[in-house]
């Protein structure tokens, strides 16, 4: 199996029963999907489980994949849906809203990195996903919109609001 094949070609081969082609896709996307799931769930163990769930869902849905469209946004959306499903199963899950959860209930963190991580985790999942794609993956608003299947304007507004909420909490 050649590593030079496009993702879309590999997905087509995998849909026809090519296990090796799917293995190449797993190697290509495991790290990126882990980072996405980790950013959305804020839990390393959950993220590992969700990457496996994502690949299982993707494998089962390969027959529905359109090889004329990019593979990356398709599998990224499957990961996002798996994360949302997992968050819904949590007892403390809150629906995505425009409000930031309060962090005053927790004792202040001694390490500034811990404090920032706590503030990021308090943001709605949609905001965390957009921030992750922007700053961890280095994507622009158009690329984020495509990956998360949102409008370009929605990405820009959410990014602006997320940064504003962080700024409010970080700069008293």
pLDDT tens for each residue of 93-130: 554 444 444 444 545 445 556 677 777 778 888 888 88
The domain boundary, picked from 36, 64, 93, lies at: 93
1 and 66 both lie in a single domain: yes
DSSP the chain: --TTS-HHHHHHHHHTT-HHHHHHHHHHHHHHHHHHHHHHHS-HHHHHHHHHHHHHHHHHTGGG--TTS-HHHHHHHHHHHHHHHHHHHSTT-----SSPPP-TTSPPPSSHHHHHHHHHHHS-HHHHHHHIIIIIS---HHHHHHHHT--HHHHHHHHHHHHHHHHHHH--
Q: Average pLDDT of the chain?
A: 82
Q: Could you tell me the CATH number of the domain that includes residue 146?
A: 1.10.10.10
25 and 74 both lie in a single domain: yes
84 and 114 both lie in a single domain: no
The domain boundary, picked from 49, 64, 93, lies at: 93
The total number of structural domains that make up the chain: 2
pLDDT at position 62, please?
93
The answer on pLDDT for 27 being more than 90 is yes
What range does the domain containing 154 cover?
Answer: 95-172
101 and 162 both lie in a single domain: yes
pLDDT at position 92, please?
54
9 and 83 both lie in a single domain: yes
């Amino acid at each position: 199996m050649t590593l030079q094949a496009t993702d879309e070609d590999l997905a087509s081969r995998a849909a026809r029963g090519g296990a090796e082609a799917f293995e190449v896709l797993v190697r290509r996307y495991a790290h990126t999907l882990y980072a996405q799931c980790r950013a959305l769930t804020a839990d390393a163990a959950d993220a590992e489980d969700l990457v496996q769930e994502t690949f299982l869902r993707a494998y089962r849905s390969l027959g529905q994949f359109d090889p004329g469209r990019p593979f990356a946004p398709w599998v990224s959306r499957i990961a996002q849906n798996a994360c949302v499903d997992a968050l819904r199963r949590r007892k403390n899950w809150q629906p995505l809203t425009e409000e930031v959860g309060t962090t005053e209930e927790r004792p202040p963190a001694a390490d500034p990195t811990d404090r920032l991580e706590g503030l990021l985790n308090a943001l709605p999942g949609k905001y965390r996903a957009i921030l992750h794609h922007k700053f961890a993956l280095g994507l622009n608003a158009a690329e984020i919109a495509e990956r998360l299947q949102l409008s370009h304007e929605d990405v820009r507004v959410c990014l602006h609001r997320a940064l504003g909420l962080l700024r409010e909490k970080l700069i008293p």
